[in-house]
A and B are shown apart, each in its own frame.
Chain A
Amino acid sequence: MKGTLLFNALREAIDEEMYRDPLVCVMGEDVGQYGGSYKVTKDLYEKYGEFRVLDTPIAENSFTGMAVGAAMTGLRPIVEGMNMGFLLLAFNQISNNMGMLRYTSGGNFTIPTVVRGPGGVGRQLGAEHSQRLEAYFHAVPGIKIVACSTPTNAKGLMKAAIRDNNPVLFFEHVLLYNLTEELPKGDYVCALDQADLVKQGSDITILTYSRMRHHCLKAVELLEGKGIEVELIDLISLKPFDMETISKSIRKTHRVIIVEECMKTGGIAAELMSLITENCFDDLDSPPVRLSSQDIPTPYNGNLENLTIIQPHQIVDAAEKIINNGGVD
């Protein structure tokens, strides 16, 4: 097969950074001998040994806190959440320690850590394994939040996250690991704080991230067939938002839809809408619209699961209504 699978792109990034800097290490459940549940750390245990690729007991709270202590004393740990949902158990360490400690210590310590793993709604994994924790962690000060969406940005962002001196929550999507793409040659990094202008257009801006980028791409194709030119932006950075790129696009199109997999209440779009209202109000010809998941635990049943998250046709409908009627209602 031509190209690189997304999980292998992540693996390459971690491998290259571990080779480059002996202080970079990985810790988490089944990251070592097993190679990671989604094989993101495959073969690294053999290559770097048991201390640099540390298989931990099932103790999210404590091994995440251990990463904080290791980072405070000079290491650059990458913590794998086998499923990002499990990190609810480490909420205290991520919030109180990873996020706040540099500030409360008056700059005494830095916490160069990456917390990464699969999030999002998969295929019938049930409510607990289908969470979108980026929204839950959004209010925590002092952490950067990024979401990768293609093999190319997965690798470049992972390398940037590892090199960053701040704690970074790095969201992968459980359904994107098998995407394939030819990667740029050589050592490259992607900026953690820059949105990706996926496609230029003049009629309407769509802001999205992670797996929804691909739903949006399908919608963009359908809308093009109807003569509607979409400007598609992958946010990449969920905290802080790249408001420069976002504002520039809205100044051009005067219309915006945010498409997310988060639940509507307290979601990423909720915060982004507020910022757009604060910063771009005069540039808008119609109210900003958000398309979010239902405010419910993700159901197991496949049909119900599909109804829970946004589908491409809903994006098409919303865009058409905004352009033709000035709003979705």
Chain B
Amino acid sequence: MGDDVSTVATTVLRRPVAAAFAVLAALMPVTWPAVTEASPACAAESGPHAALVIDTGAGVRSFCVALDATTVSGIHLIELAGAQGHLSYGFGSGGQAVCRLAGVGPQGDDCFADYPQYWGYWHGDGHGGWTWSSSGAASARVGDGALDGWVWGSGDSGASHPKPPPTAIDDVCVPEATPATSPSPSRATHAAAVPSAGARSSASKASSSPSDPGTNRSAKPSNDGIGRASAAGTPTAGALAAAPGPPPASAGPGPGLLVALALGAALAGGGWLRIRTSRRRRSIG
């Protein structure tokens, strides 16, 4: 075995492929700290949040939900909204399907008991638009800054099922006390002018924001139409003083991607070299 390893080592050093590997291995520690240090910092500032919009047909409630992982399933997002914002819900099909939200929908395990009326599942594009979800809520992934919408109505596809009202992520999870971004000042004054139930002083929250993101941007149900949903969401929307701008994930390709690209190129090129040399050897011999 020891002999094996030493011969492996000498073989390794002889090959151009392995040389590429060695270079990559040397590069790894350089990029590593940059990557690992960046992500906890972002997490400490805000933590991932997603918006959940529930349209019962009679009224719209929206929740800003703090996620307990970087991505959660659509089902878990509802559970989190239930825990954080007092949303009542009921699942069917062994916890895979959504039967009942905010007191609307069938009670049992069969979520299509009231068919053609059922809960349609939508994903928001972040700027007000909605697309019909191609996957079930149990397999859909919801990450930071995502919007999930549920509408009680009929229609078998996104073409005929009613859509949630146009909602942007900032309507529900409002970045407050961010002097750098333009919409914030007007919202902040609005919040001061119209304090709704459960609204605490935004100034006090702003001061405590960096340490405790969970309480700063907790779930806020707003029991009125979408026109007022943004306003009602505003006062309790936690201070995002430390995290202005869009979520960090959408900023662009990170340094990890470059390392991955180099690794992939080394592997693909190495394999190609191997095949070429073995072919040449065969044609000579």
- Whether A and B are associated in the same complex: the answer reads no
Chain A residues at the B interface, C-beta cutoff of 8 Å: none
Chain B residues at the A interface, C-beta cutoff of 8 Å: none
